[in-house]
Amino acid sequence: MSDVGFVAAAVREGRTSADSVAREVGRRLTRSAPLNATLDWSQAILDRQATRLDAMSATQRAARPLAGVPIALKDNIVTTDQPTTCASRILEGYVSPYDATVVTRLRAAGALIASKTNLDEFAMGSSTEHSCRGRVHHPLDPARVPGGSSGGSAALVAAGVVPAALGSETGGSVRQPASFCGVVGIKPSYGRVSRYGLVAFGSSLDQISVFGRTVDDASRVLAVISGHDEHDATSAPLPPLVLETPRRDLRGITVGLPREYFPTDLDGAVRAALDQVRDRVRDLGGTIREVSLPHTRYAVPTYYIVAPAEAAANLARFDGVRYGPRRVGAGGDVEALYRATRGQGFGAEVRRRILIGTYVLSSGYYDAYYRKAQQVRALLADDFRRVFEEQAVDMLLTPTTPTPAFRAGEKTDDPVAMYLADIFTCSINLAALPAISIPAGRSNGLPIGAQLVAPMFAEARMLSAAAALEAALDPTREVR
């Protein structure tokens, strides 16, 4: 099993069976247990999906672009045949009565849903250490984190268990672990992919996103899950994404280097890796232009006001009445029920963000914090607009993360240090733009990612350019 295109073609053409793929994926999932990347999977469920696909006629299989391709799902994307827990005690055993739209589209395209993957609880974290089922181990160095919050999905793709997986992005939760694990991570424009069936964290920021071993792998999956969905009021009225032929060069492409993303204290290996990517852009015929996004320094504080505020509102439903196991509290009244259910069901990081969000939305603080954050968010979005429209820049090139993967436990006692791991990604979510992280080299064996950012709904051009860069880069090359 090589990549998405290879597996799909082999199953469609009858050179292998979906059953063979399902059995091999089951073996790989079993062997991957030490990563702690999977929360739920079943060989029986895999086999049932494969049997249905193998029973189709050759004509029916030929119409399925992801025939037999095994894809893992972050466990905040609901499915009817496996639990959806968000790695939280408050949702233990919950099984959704419906499939998320992306799951429906994957099934219709012939994909095999391989497993549900581990994550930071309710997608709140940057290391996948905040899970009620324990942390995910980095596939190259078990002492390090795979990034978060979609660390389980990233680890499975990096370990070769599946060629592609879905995660979710609120502030960088696919691109950051993609960078740490040395795989490709695509965050689409807000509205490009339906959020119906994604357990909400920050509704104006969340976007289902894709991991792949290559740009082609991730792009094929994104094309299938994209397109308008009447079940999602925030879904853009656009048809499914049509991919461009991958470029062989970057002639006619202007790439902006935002100076704020290359601070003097940037990790030396990350800077060296990005210098090589910049050189490859020039080698491929692209034009490099230095630009400025002057409000970048406000991105992290803005994000950590907007996202917790929305989280506090979205997680109010997990109260032991509407969702969650009911816990009996002292006093026996409704307040005691809420305190006991939420106190025992939510982990420390989720409680911290709910408290922050409730504070910034409270009377007397709303204008000082939440309203101000929304105003700054508009300024951040306008920075990107001016660069793309007024300076004729086609896309931006930045580091994905300020450092390679850090050690487990290194930042858990310092939430601010953990939040700064999203410094180069969260502004993209605030501005609702598409972005991709591709492997750009290694430092002492640990992967480093480079990020391309494009204008709203310009995914096709971004992915085509990323494929050209991917072909010109050696992702295993050590940088100094």
Spot the catalytic one: 149, 209, 226, 464: 149
Rounded to an integer, the average pLDDT of 268-278 is 98
C-beta atoms surrounding 234 within 10 Å: 14
Q: What is the pLDDT of residue 141?
A: 98
Q: In terms of domains, do 222 and 350 share one?
A: no
* 254: CATH: 3.90.1300.10
Structural domain count, the chain:
2
263 token code pair: 């601070």
Phi and psi of 44, rounded to 5°? -65, -40
Is a pLDDT exceeding 50 seen at residue 1? no
Rounded to an integer, the average pLDDT of 106-124 is 98
Spot the catalytic one: 173, 209, 219, 427: 173
Say how far apart CA 65 and CA 53 lie, in whole Å: 12
Tell me the pLDDT tens digit for each residue of 120-142.
999 999 999 999 999 999 999 99
Q: Which of 343, 367, 391 is the last residue of a domain?
A: 367
Is a pLDDT exceeding 90 seen at residue 255? yes
Burial class (CB in 10 A: 0-12, 13-18, 19+), 92: middle
Say how far apart CA 68 and CA 10 lie, in whole Å: 9
Q: In terms of domains, do 272 and 311 share one?
A: no
Q: In terms of domains, do 267 and 392 share one?
A: yes
**Facing residues of 291 across strands?**
258
What is the residue-wise DSSP string for 62-84? HT-TTTT-EEEEETTB--SSS--
Q: In terms of domains, do 422 and 331 share one?
A: no
Q: In terms of domains, do 205 and 345 share one?
A: no
Please report, to the nearest 10 degrees, the dihedral formed by the alpha carbons of residues 393, 395, 396, 401 taken in order: 170
Region at 189 (left for phi over 0; alpha for psi -120 to 50; beta for the rest) = beta
Tell me the pLDDT tens digit for each residue of 74-101.
999 999 999 999 999 999 999 999 999 9
Q: What is the pLDDT of residue 322?
A: 84
Q: Which of 321, 345, 367 is the last residue of a domain?
A: 367
Instruction: For strands 446-453 and 435-443, give the pairing.
Output: antiparallel
Length of the chain: 480
Q: In terms of domains, do 331 and 359 share one?
A: yes
Q: What is the pLDDT of residue 330?
A: 56
Residue-number span of the structural domain to which 205 is assigned? 1-296+372-480
Tell me the pLDDT tens digit for each residue of 209-220.
999 999 999 999
Q: Tell me, rounded to whole angstroms, the distance of Cα 77 from its chain centroid.
A: 12
Rounded to an integer, the average pLDDT of 30-35 is 98
Tell me the pLDDT tens digit for each residue of 384-432.
999 999 999 999 999 999 999 999 999 988 888 898 889 999 999 999 9
Across all residues in the chain, what is the average pLDDT? 96
- pLDDT band at residue 331 using 50, 70 and 90 as cut-offs: low
Q: Looking at this protein, which amino acid is placed at residue 308?
A: P
Q: In terms of domains, do 340 and 441 share one?
A: no
Say how far apart CA 376 and CA 301 lie, in whole Å: 10
Tell me the pLDDT tens digit for each residue of 338-375.
888 898 899 999 999 999 999 999 988 999 999 999 99
- In the residue annotation, 187 being an active-site residue is answered as no
Is a pLDDT exceeding 80 seen at residue 50? yes
Is a pLDDT exceeding 90 seen at residue 334? no
Q: In terms of domains, do 397 and 356 share one?
A: no
- pLDDT band at residue 335 using 50, 70 and 90 as cut-offs: confident
Spot the catalytic one: 32, 74, 219, 226: 74
Q: Which of 310, 338, 367 is the last residue of a domain?
A: 367
CA angle 197, 200, 203 (to 5 degrees): 115
pTM across the whole model: 0.96
Q: In terms of domains, do 215 and 292 share one?
A: yes
Say how far apart CA 325 and CA 333 lie, in whole Å: 16
- In the residue annotation, 173 being an active-site residue is answered as yes
Q: In terms of domains, do 271 and 351 share one?
A: no
The kind and range of the H/E element at 287 are strand 287-291
Is a pLDDT exceeding 60 seen at residue 279? yes
**Facing residues of 435 across strands?**
187, 453
Q: What is the pLDDT of residue 163?
A: 98
Is a pLDDT exceeding 90 seen at residue 169? yes
Tell me the pLDDT tens digit for each residue of 314-326.
999 998 888 887 7
Q: In terms of domains, do 55 and 134 share one?
A: yes
Q: In terms of domains, do 100 and 183 share one?
A: yes
Q: What is the pLDDT of residue 122?
A: 98
- pLDDT band at residue 37 using 50, 70 and 90 as cut-offs: very high
Rounded to an integer, the average pLDDT of 24-31 is 98
- In the residue annotation, 149 being an active-site residue is answered as yes
Tell me the pLDDT tens digit for each residue of 183-231.
999 999 999 999 999 999 999 999 999 999 999 999 999 999 999 999 9
